Amino acid sequence: MIMHKATEFRLEARPHIPEAIEGLEVLANDLFYSWDHGVRSLFARIDLRLWQKVEHNPKLFLRRVSQTRLNEASEDRAFMAEYRRVLSSYDAYLESGPGAGVLEALDPKTSLVAYFCAEFGFHESFPIYSGGLGILAGDHCKAASDLGLPFVAVGLLYQQGYFIQTIDALGQQIARYQSHSSDELPITPVERDGKQLTVSVPFPGRDVYAKVWMARVGHIRLYLLDSNTPENNADDQALTLQLYGGDFSTRVSQEMLLGIGGVRVLSELGIKPTTWHINEGHAAFQILERCRMAMAEGLPFSAALEAVAGSTLFTTHTPVPAGHDIFPRDLVAHHLGAYVEDSGLDFAEVFALGSKNGDDSFNMTSLGLRGSRFHNGVSRIHGGVASHMEGDIWPQVPARDNPIQYITNGVHVPTFLAPEWASLFDMHAPTWKSELLNPDFWHFIDKIPDYHYWSVHKALKQQMAEYTVRRLKRQHKRNGTGHSVTERMARQLASPEKDALVIGFARRFATYKRATLIFSDLARLERLLTNPDHPVVLVFAGKAHPQDQPGQQLIKVIHGLSMQPSLMGHIILLENYDQAMARRLLSGVDVWLNTPEYPKEASGTSGEKAALNGALNLSVLDGWWGEGYDKTNGWAITPRDTGLDPEFRNREEARDLLDLLEQDIIPLYYNRASQGYSKGWVTRSKASMKTITPRFNAQRMVMDYVRNYYQPATAQGKRLTADGFNLATELAEWKARVRAAWDGVSIHVRGCVDDQCAWDESVELSIGVSLNGLAPSDVRVECLVTPECAGTHAEPGPDRFFLEPDGEKDGQTLFKTQVQPPYPGLQTLRVRMYPYHDALTHPLEMGAMLWA
C-alpha cells in the first residue's frame, strides 16, 4: 500500500494598509529603520509577537499582519500620534543637507563617491553579510547618509545570503541556507522602460545577466546585482545564491559580476562617480572595466590605468591569508577570457596587475593595489602590517614609507547604541547626536549620577540575561537536553539578585581569534568562574565558515565545556550570531573579551560597540584597541613577540588574561558598597564610554575617508582626466620611459661629508648620479637625517633635505645641498633617489628607489 501524503499549499492573505498609515510602507523600504528605534517600535506596537516572529523584518511584517490590527492601529490616537512623530522625523532627516565638514571637502553637485563591497550588514532582516566586513560596510553607508555625503554603494544580492547556524547536541555546527524572496527584503527593482533593468557581463561562451535592485539607506542608494533571472542558464542563476559559498569558480564569477557588472550598472543609470572606493579585494575587477571604458575613448591601457587609479581608493581589511582572494591564474584566464577579448585588454597586462612575488596565481589584493593610488588598512597596527605584507608592490621602497596608510574603523552609533542609553544622553546632553566628532563634549558622561548610569546598565543587562536564557532554552530543548540540565545552565543568568559578572565573546569563529585562549588553564579558570561569592559567566556566540573545520572545532570545544557539570551555568554558547544578537549581548554584558593572535585582528569593531554601551573591553592590544586603550578605560593584554613559539605565546597571554580577571576585574566588579554597585567600576565604564564613543564611531571614520582620500582622489581624478586625459597620458609615457631607464641608473656619494661640525654650522652634501638618459628633473634626491638613538629606519618628515641638481662632472649629474644638523650629537645621514613627476599621486608610487 502506498500512503499518499497530501500536498500542502501555503497561502498568504496580505492585508491592505489603511491610508492613514500608508507611510509604513515607505518606512519599511528604507534601511533608516535599521538605526531608527522609533520606526522599529511602530511595527512592534502594532503586533509585538508577529514583529518578533518575523525577526524584525518590516516588509514581511506588513505582509503577515492581520487587517484587524492595522485597522485598530490606524484608529488608535496614541499610535497615530507616534506614527506622525516618527514620519516627520524621517522627513526631517531626508531634508537635512550635507554637514559643513563634507561641504568643505566635496561639492555634492560635482563629486560622487562610489563604494563597492561584496557584503553589506545593515540589519538582521537583510542577511547579505557574514561578519565584520559587512557590518563595517553597512555602518559606512549609514554614516555617509547621516553626513549627507554624495555617495552611492554597489554590491550583490544573495538570495540565500549567509547561512543560518544551529549547534547540535554534540556541539557540531549545522549550516542551513534559507532563500529570501525579493519582496521580503528592503529593496525595489530598478526599472527601465517598464521592466527591471539588467546588465550583462561576457563570460566564456555566453553573457551572464544580472537584474538590478536598489536599497534605500536614508540619503543614499545601494545598487545590488542579482543573477537569478530567466535570461541565464540554471548554473548562472545560482551564481549570486550564497555569500562566500561555492568554489573558486563561483567566487571569480561573483566578483566579475560585482566589479564589472557593478560599473555597468552605474553607467546604465548615468551615474558618474568621481571617486571609487574598493572595499576589499572582492570588488577589484572594477578596475578592468573602468580601464576598458577609458580605452574605448582611444586611450592606451597604460594611460587608462593612470586615469582610473588616480581616482581610486583600495582598502584592505585583514592580514589573514584566507581573507585574500588568490585564484589560480588559468581559472581567471578561463573566466575572463571572453571579457578580455571583448574589451581590447591584454592578458599579459591583466596578469601583471594581479601578480604577487612573481608566482603564477592571481591576487585580487594586488590588483586592487595596482589599480588604485590611495590605499589603507583599518587601524594603526594593521596599516603597518599591510605595508609589509603588500610591500612587493613597491619593491625598492621600505615598507614604512610605502603609500599604504590607515583609517581606524568606527561603528555607527545610532545602530549600536541601546535606546536606553540614547534616552539618558537626551536628558543630560540633548545635542549629543551632532557631537560625534567632538571628544571634549563627551565629558558630559561624568556628570550623569552614578546610580542613574548604573540603573541603565542594569536594565540592559537584565534584558540581555532574559534574551540569553530564552535562546539557550530554545536551543537545548530542540537538542533534547533534559529540563533539569537546561535549568542548571541558565541558573546563573536567571538569578538577577546574584548579578554575576558577565563576560561576552561573540564574533566569527576564525582560529586567529583564539576563542578558547581563556581555557588554557582550565583548573584556574574554573576556580575563578565558580566562586560562589563572586560568580562569573562567559557567554559565547559565533559562526565558523562552513569550510573552516578548525573553526568548527572551536565551537565543539566550547560546547563541551559548557556541558561539563563543574562549569555548567558559567559557560554559555548561543547559536546563530547575527546583528540582533550582537546588539543584545554588546549592550548587556559587563566585559567584552577579545583575544586575537597579534597582529591578525585588523581592527575588530565589536569592542567599540560594547564600549558605547558601557561594557569594558578586556582585549589583546591589537587592532583598534591598540589606539583605544588608555589605561583607564578597560584592560589590555600585551601581545608577546610574534617570533616566539605560538604555544608559549598563548600560554603567556592566557596567564595575563587570568591574572587580570583574578587581580583586577573580578575584585573591582564585586567591590560593591551598600549602594549595590561598584563605584570604581562605574568610573571605569564612564571613562570607556566617553573616550571611545567620539573616537571610534563611523562618522569620524567616514570624515577621515572624506578628508584623506575622497577629496584628494576626486581632485586627482579630475586633474588626470582633464583635456582628454592629457595628464594621464603624459604620466603613463613618463613612467614607461623611467621604467626602461631605471635599471641603468646609479647613485654615488662624491667627496666626503665632514664627519664633524659645530652645532650651528652646516655641511655640504654632494652626490653624483648616472641618469642613463633621464633628466635631472625626472628624479628627486633627498637626504634623511636620524638621530643615533632612533630606530633603524628614517622617518621622512622635517628632517629631510632635498638635493638640487648642480651641473655635471665625469659624466655624472651632481646634486648638492647644505645640511645643518637637526639634532645635537651623533646622527645618521642617508641619501636616496626616486623618480619624480608632478602628476604622481604619491611620490613613491612607482616603487623605485636607490640609496647612495
Residues in contact with ligand PLP by CB under 6 A are 131-132, 135, 507, 577-579, 582, 604-606, 609
Q: How far apart are CA 481 and CA 504, in angstroms?
A: 23
CB of 514 to ligand PLP, least distance (A): 12
Residue closer to ligand PLP by CB (options 57, 605) is 605
CB of 412 to ligand PLP, least distance (A): 10
Residue closer to ligand PLP by CB (options 131, 383) is 131
Cα–Cα distances (Å) from 647 to 509, 517, 525, 620, 637, in that order, read 19, 11, 18, 16, 16
CB of 600 to ligand PLP, least distance (A): 11
Comparing every residue's Cβ against ligand PLP, the nearest one is 606
Report helix, strand or coil for 411.
Answer: strand
Q: How far apart are CA 122 and CA 618, in angstroms?
A: 26
Q: Which residues contact 821 (CB under 8 A, 6 or more apart)?
A: 757, 759, 762, 763, 785, 827
Nearest to 813 by CA among 849, 846, 784, 780: 780
Residue closer to ligand PLP by CB (options 135, 332) is 135
Residue closer to ligand PLP by CB (options 139, 401) is 139
Q: Cell 554603494: give the residue.
A: 153
Tell me, what amino acid is at 24? L
Tell me, what amino acid is at 47? D
Residue closer to ligand PLP by CB (options 306, 578) is 578
Cell numbers that stand for 172 in this block:
557540531
Residue closer to ligand PLP by CB (options 185, 620) is 620
DSSP string, 27-46: HHTBGGGGT-HHHHHHHHHH
Q: How far apart are CA 627 and CA 383, in angstroms?
A: 12
Q: Are 101 and 237 in contact (CB under 8 A)?
A: no
CB of 163 to ligand PLP, least distance (A): 14
How far is residue 223 CA from its own chain's centroid?
Answer: 19
Residue closer to ligand PLP by CB (options 167, 304) is 167
Q: Which residues contact 672 (CB under 8 A, 6 or more apart)?
A: 678
Residue closer to ligand PLP by CB (options 373, 600) is 600
Strand pairing report for 191-192 and 616-620: unpaired
CB of 494 to ligand PLP, least distance (A): 25
Nearest to 603 by CA among 619, 616, 588: 619
CB of 542 to ligand PLP, least distance (A): 8
CB of 365 to ligand PLP, least distance (A): 19
CB of 628 to ligand PLP, least distance (A): 13
CB of 466 to ligand PLP, least distance (A): 20
CB of 606 to ligand PLP, least distance (A): 3
Residue closer to ligand PLP by CB (options 578, 653) is 578
CB of 576 to ligand PLP, least distance (A): 10
- What is the CB neighbour count within 10 angstroms for residue 652? 17
Residue closer to ligand PLP by CB (options 251, 609) is 609
Q: What is the 3-state secondary structure (H, E, C) of 213-243?
A: EEEEECCEEEEEEECCCCCCCHHHHCCCCEC
Half-sphere exposure of 465 (CA within 13 A, CB side): 24
DSSP string, 727-745: HHHHHHHHHHHHHHHHTT-
Residue closer to ligand PLP by CB (options 378, 436) is 378
Report helix, strand or coil for 407.
Answer: coil
